[in-house]
């Protein structure tokens, strides 16, 4: 009965996601996607080019391909969340509320992201290496930049048992390496990065700090909670799922310096890990409820949720930052058609 409940929960989550995005006809990146679909500009992601040719040859339009991506995103995201045995519907709804505008437009990336995380979890937790490799290839075909997240994760995951100074040195080296790569030609991974430089969207220090503040607070809380959990449950590091979720949650630490160079790093490789942060708390609460009751993990999870919602929905209304989020949201909703 419990298994059936989880399956129904997952199916409803997929339907909710599809309904929220299915009727979108206007979003910030859709025009460039349409040009790629029509062959007027090139896409460096093989999957999108291949699917564009297949859809076009059958007389289908770009919006058909867009909706196909929406289904792929819904299924891959729900499968990623579901594999940890938590409330899939809750995390899906919170994810939509926290990142609706970007998810409406960055369709290639949001297919690749959950697929890459699913791949790494299958490789490290389930030891299903062949399936993991296939999923990793699929993720990279949809968006090559997920290799950044995968690489940053591996640095933390495989060095977690080393001495702190080795971790710090390696982390700094990885940060500096990514900064240099972004500065001298890393743009070749994605045609969109060229426009970020050309339009002067290199992040200012204050802008980066503003965007990073809730992320740093969130990761700070998780590191604090992790230290508390280790004291209460010393053998928890033998739990492969726990180690994976915690490591993935703090992976943005490897990307801090590059995020001061380009704001898209924050949007793509930090904010997008929001569902993983929720999943981490929900997994610990469910699996180690009796051991962690006094830690009040729900309070920390609520703070993570509140911080994100304040930055998305309230801060733009204060006038402190740009209200472009609401402008983009209005364009999406006013042009929504079922």
Q: Report pLDDT for 337.
A: 86
From CA 256, how far away is CA 171, in angstroms rounded?
10
Q: Quick one: angle between helices 274-287 and 205-232, nearest 10?
A: 10
DSSP annotation of 202 reads B
Query: What SS3 class is residue 262?
Result: strand
Q: In terms of C-beta density within 10 A (0-12 exposed, 13-18 middle, 19 or more buried), how is residue 211 classed?
A: buried
The pLDDT, as a whole number, for residue 267 is 80
Which DSSP letter does residue 314 get?
A: I
**77 Cβ partners below 8 Å, 6+ apart?**
17, 92, 95, 110, 114, 275
Can you say how many angstroms the Cα of residue 83 is from the centroid of all Cα atoms in its chain? Answer: 16
- Domain ranges in the chain are 2-334
> pLDDT at position 269, please?
83
Among residues 173, 304, 153, 285, the alpha carbon closest in space to that of 229 is found at 285
Which residues, 6 or more positions from 69, have their beta carbon under 8 angstroms from its beta carbon?
107, 108, 111
Query: What is the pLDDT at residue 185?
Result: 52
Mean pLDDT per block of 10 residues along the chain (338 residues) reads 84 97 91 90 87 94 96 96 93 95 93 96 94 96 90 84 62 65 53 48 67 90 92 90 94 80 78 94 90 83 94 85 82 90
Counting beta carbons within 10 angstroms of the beta carbon of residue 198, is it exposed (0 to 12), middle (13 to 18) or buried (19 or more)?
Answer: exposed
Mention every residue, 6+ apart, whose C-beta is less than 8 A from residue 88: 6, 9, 10, 13, 78, 81, 82
Structural contact between residues 10 and 92, judged by C-beta atoms closer than 8 angstroms: no
């Amino acid at each position: 009965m419990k298994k059936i409940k989880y399956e129904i929960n997952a199916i409803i989550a997929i339907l909710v996601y599809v309904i929220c995005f299915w009727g979108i006809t206007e979003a910030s990146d859709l025009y460039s996607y349409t040009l790629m679909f029509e062959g007027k500009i090139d896409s460096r992601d093989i999957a999108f080019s291949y699917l564009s040719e297949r859809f076009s040859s059958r007389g289908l339009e770009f919006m058909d391909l867009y909706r196909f991506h929406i289904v792929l995103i819904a299924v891959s995201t729900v499968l990623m969340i579901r594999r940890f045995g938590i409330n899939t519907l809750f995390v899906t709804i919170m994810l939509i509320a926290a990142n609706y505008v970007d998810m409406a437009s960055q369709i290639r990336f949001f297919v690749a992201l959950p697929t890459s995380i699913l791949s790494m979890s299958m490789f490290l937790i389930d030891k299903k290496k062949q399936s993991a490799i296939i999923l990793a290839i699929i993720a990279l075909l949809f968006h090559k930049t997920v290799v950044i997240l995968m690489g940053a994760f591996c640095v933390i995951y495989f060095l977690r048992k080393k001495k702190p100074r080795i971790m710090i040195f390696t982390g700094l080296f990885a940060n500096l390496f990514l900064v240099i790569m972004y500065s001298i030609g890393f743009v070749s991974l994605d045609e969109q990065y060229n426009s970020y430089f050309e339009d002067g969207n290199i992040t200012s220090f204050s802008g980066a700090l503003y965007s990073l503040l809730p992320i740093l607070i969130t990761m700070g809380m998780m590191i604090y909670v992790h230290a508390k959990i280790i004291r209460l449950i010393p053998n928890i590091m033998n739990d492969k799922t726990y180690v994976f979720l915690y490591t993935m949650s703090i992976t943005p630490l490897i990307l801090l310096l590059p995020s001061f160079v380009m704001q898209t790093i924050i949007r793509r490789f930090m904010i997008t890990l929001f569902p993983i942060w929720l999943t981490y708390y929900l997994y610990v609460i469910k699996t180690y409820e009796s051991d962690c009751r006094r830690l009040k993990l729900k309070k920390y999870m609520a703070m993570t949720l509140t911080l994100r919602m304040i930055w998305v929905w309230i801060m733009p209304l204060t006038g402190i930052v740009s209200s472009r989020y609401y402008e983009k949201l209005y364009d999406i909703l006013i042009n929504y058609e079922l």
